[in-house]
Amino acid sequence: MKEFPRTTVGGVSVSRIIMGTNWIYGYSHTGASADKQILKRNSQLENVRDLLDAYMQYGIDTIMGPMSNPHVTMDAIKELEQKYGRKIIIIDTPIINVDDTAEGRKEAEKTIKRSKEIGATFCLIHHSSCEQLINKNKSTMDRLPDYLSMIRENDMVPGLSAHMPEVIVYSDLNNYDVETYIQIYNCLGFLMQVEVEYINKVIWSAKKPVMTIKPMAAGRTTPFVGLNFSFNTIREKDMVTTGCFTSDEVHEVVEISFAALERRQADLEGRNSPNKTSIMM
C-alpha cells in the first residue's frame, strides 16, 4: 500500500490522517441507538484490531481519543505494534480537574501521569477542561502553564483541544508552551461555535499545526464531500482526524483523501440503488 503523507508536530512525525475513535468508543453524535451499535461491534478486540490494521496498511500510525480510559483499543494497538514493528503514536485527550485547589492539582497530575503510563506521545487537554480556564476579558487562559508543565514533566508533547476558537487564539497570543491544537472543522459548521470561514482563518493563522476533527460532521455529510473540503482548505502541515466503523470504510476514506491531495478523481465503487439510471455506474 502507498503510504499516506506525513507532517511534523512538536518534532514528531505523524500521519496527516489521524485515526479517530468516536466510532470505537461509542460517541456517534446522533443518538443512543447508534452509540449502542458502535459499542456492540467495537467492544470486540478483533473488530478494533482489524479496523486499526486497515489504517496501518497506509502508514497511518497516529490515533487520537480518550486513550487512557480502559478499552480493548490499547490491546489492539499493542498487537499491531508487534505486527508492523513500529510504534503507534497515541494522542491522548484526557479530561483533567482544573479546580484551583491542592486537591484539584493533585488529581490533574494523576490523570496526566496516566497518559504517560499508557504510552501516549501527545497529551492534549480536553476542551471541556481547558475551556474552563479561558478569561475573555484578559484574553488569557489562567493557570494553563501549570498543566502544560505537568505534561512536559512526563515527557509528552503538550497541546490543547478546542471547541471554542479562543483556545487557539489566546494560546498563540500568550505564547503558551503548546505544540499543536485540536479544532472542530467541517463544511457544515457542525458543533463549531462560529462560522466556517472564521475557523478557517483561525487554522491558517495558528502558530502550530492543527489537528482538525469531525470532517464528516458526525455522518451529516459524506466522506467525499467532507474530506475534499477539509484537505483542500487546510495547510499542508495540518491534519484531518477521521473515525471509521469498519475496515472497508477506512479504505474508502483513504482513497478519497489521496485523491483530494493529488487533485484527481477518487477511484470509488458506485453506490447501491434499487433502480439505477443509465448514467450511474
Structural domain spans, the chain: 6-262
Q: Where are the beta strands (DSSP E) in 42-179?
A: 62-65, 89-92, 122-125, 134-135, 140-141, 157-162
**What is the band of 273 on the pLDDT scale with cuts at 50, 70, 90?**
low
- The average pLDDT across 253-260 equals 98
**Average pLDDT value for residue range 39-63:** 95
Q: Which CATH class is domain 6-262?
A: alpha beta
Contact 124, 92 (CB under 8 A): yes
Least confident interval from 67-76, 141-150, 222-231? 67-76
Nearest-angstrom CA–CA distance, 103 and 123: 21
The per-residue pLDDT of the chain, averaged, comes to 94
Confidence of residue 70 (pLDDT cuts 50, 70, 90): confident
Res. 176 pLDDT band, cuts 50 70 90: very high
What span, in angstroms and rounded, lies between the C-alpha atoms of 186 and 209? 17
